Structure 1
Amino acid sequence: MSWLGVLLIGLAATDLTHSVWHVRALPQLVGVASALLVALAAGLTTGRDLAALSVVALLVVLWGVTVTRGFGRGPVWLPLVVLGLAICLGVGFSGAATPAAGALESWLDGVAVPLLHGLSADRFLLLVGAFGVQLSTGNVIVRLVLKVTGTLNPMRDGSMPPTPMKGGRLLGPLERVFILALALAGQITAASIVVAAKGLLRFPELSSRGEQHHVHQMTEYFLVGSFVSWLVALSSLVVLV
């Protein structure tokens, strides 16, 4: 699973960089560099590893480029296809991946943090990649799905007054991280409470805004975005368990 972990780290680094610096080609460069540096630290240097890392680098670049164009005037469905292909390749060839070791494994064997001590390098790469995806990549996936399905935010197109709540792009990553962490800890009930709490807190605010058809539009926007966001966390959980 080492190649899949490296791939997820590259995708996450690309999107995190893009969320901070809107500089052309920089996110892809950071994503590829992050994936290669992590792979080097994990001792993935055989011929088979190098071939796999070349594919990883290509997929990271394709993801960054298609996302940028998708949010512009390019096809919105294309980055979702690239992401699906990347994940399928990562999972499909996971059995052929070289076990991660190298300096990363040595560090994990000697680290004083009980949670990390003795953790395999493969597992560590997957955890870092999965939690990294919950941050900016999860938001990108949600925005792409909303756009490709034509689910518009009525507050953004001017049909409803703007909401005073501005933390949506922060709450989404926090929510996904909480869900994934609680589920990995075996606290499925607690993760379910997080999901339920979001609905209980937001629906009264949604139902009080504007005309009835606007409320329906906003509810649809909220539900589609929330379910896609939760699926990102649950999909990562499937990979980790």
Structure 2
Amino acid sequence: MIAAGLLLLAVGAVDLLRQMVRTRRWLAFTLAAVALVVVSAGLDAVIAGLLAVAVAAIWTWVMPERGPARAGLWPVALLGLTAAACVVIARGRPRPGPLGELWATYRPTDTVSVDVILLVIGCLVFLLESGNAVVRIALRSEMGEREAVQTPPSDAAGSPSVADGAANAPRRADDPPADALRAADRPRRARSDALPAPTEPGDPVSTPSPVLKGGRLIGPLERILVFVLTLAGAYTLIAAVFAAKGIVRFPEISADGRSGNRAEYFLIGSLVSWVSALAAAFLVWWGVNAG
């Protein structure tokens, strides 16, 4: 169990540092790795701490901050399976290392070991920013697949224009030259580029409104709330949270028109975020009952 906590703590700390630190990241990463190894030594789990640092380094490579992920959601699935295996194989210890002895002296209850506490902390840190990264990768993967299927190639990529299609068609004696067709097509292209993009029926045509960045804060708060309520067994409140989010987003989704992009975007992001929180809570529940 201690290995799962250190693993999630290392990955979550790396994503938090990537979000908060913009310069001299190597120094922040080094200090964080040293601190994690020191904590693992105090818990008599140095090997698990070193493995957690190695996994966090691999995570930064396969889960970039921007652009598509190199391996999609496979690293997330492997991380979850590894954490679950650590909980099953290495169960909680009553007095692990000096920090475990200190916790055993001052803990309020005998049923919660320091391994469980570290697992909870690791899950909370992971849900803060790594949960956002998982949601972003899921949305980027979905949008990338949709663009590959639905988006036609542009003129710059070599798609034939009106004039090119006319030039490649069988010519007759009274047809105008191909150069004349291309010259006549240029003003049409310029006029079409200057016009605003067509909208769905019923969609308001106005200047684009500013996009708020509250999702970066709402997402972690929502995941932590679902995580805590699940561990507390307050399933009715969890259902209320899910319903409240749907009600708040309903006006935006209902204005989506016939495309359904916003609704699908909302569903994918929300489901991935909720599954992450529920999986973390189940991992802690499993560790407590297995220990």
The interval holding the TM-score normalised by the smaller chain is 0.7 to 0.9
The answer to whether the 8 Å contact 1:9/1:31 transfers is: no
Alignment of 1:215-226 (within 5 A): 216-226=260-270
Alignment of 1:90-101 (within 5 A): 90-97=83-90, 99=93, 101=96
Q: What displacement does 1:187 show?
A: 0.6
Where in structure 2 are there 5+ consecutive unaligned residues?
146-196, 200-206, 286-291
What TM-score does the superposition give when structure 1 sets the normalisation length?
A: 0.80
Provide the residue aligned with 1:228 in structure 2: 272
Q: How many residues are treated as equivalent by the alignment?
A: 223
Provide the residue aligned with 1:187 in structure 2: 234
State yes or no: 1:56 paired with 2:67: no
What TM-score does the superposition give when structure 2 sets the normalisation length?
A: 0.67
Provide the residue aligned with 2:216 in structure 1: 169
Provide the residue aligned with 2:126 in structure 1: 133
Q: Encode CA deviations 1:132-174: one digit per residue, 9 max, x unaligned.
A: 111001000000111112179xxxxx98934554311100100
Q: What displacement does 1:31 show?
A: 5.1
Separation in 2, partners of 1:53, 1:182 = 29
- Pairwise CA RMSD of aligned residues? 2.9
Separation in 1, partners of 2:222, 2:27 = 28
Structure 1 pair 77–228 and aligned structure 2 pair: CA distance change class (3 A): farther
Separation in 2, partners of 1:93, 1:187 = 27
Where in structure 1 are there 5+ consecutive unaligned residues?
153-157
State yes or no: 1:12 paired with 2:12: yes
Larger mean CA deviation between 20-29 and 229-238 belongs to 20-29
Q: Encode CA deviations 1:31-64: one digit per residue, 9 max, x unaligned.
A: 533432331221224xxxx2x4433222110101
Q: Encode CA deviations 1:171-213: one digit per residue, 9 max, x unaligned.
A: 01001111110111111111111111111111123324xx614
The answer to whether the 8 Å contact 1:12/1:135 transfers is: yes
Provide the residue aligned with 1:147 in structure 2: 140
Structure 1 pair 106–67 and aligned structure 2 pair: CA distance change class (3 A): same
The answer to whether the 8 Å contact 1:8/1:129 transfers is: yes
Letter in 2 for 1:198: K
Provide the residue aligned with 1:39 in structure 2: 40
Separation in 1, partners of 2:32, 2:43 = 17
Provide the residue aligned with 1:212 in structure 2: 257
Separation in 2, partners of 1:87, 1:164 = 32
Give 3-state SS (helix, strand or coil) of 2:143's partner: coil
Letter in 2 for 1:184: L
2:69 aligned residue (68, 76, 98)? 76
Separation in 2, partners of 1:120, 1:4 = 14
Q: Encode CA deviations 1:54-79: one digit per residue, 9 max, x unaligned.
A: 332221101012222x624xx51526
Separation in 1, partners of 2:53, 2:250 = 42
Provide the residue aligned with 1:109 in structure 2: 104
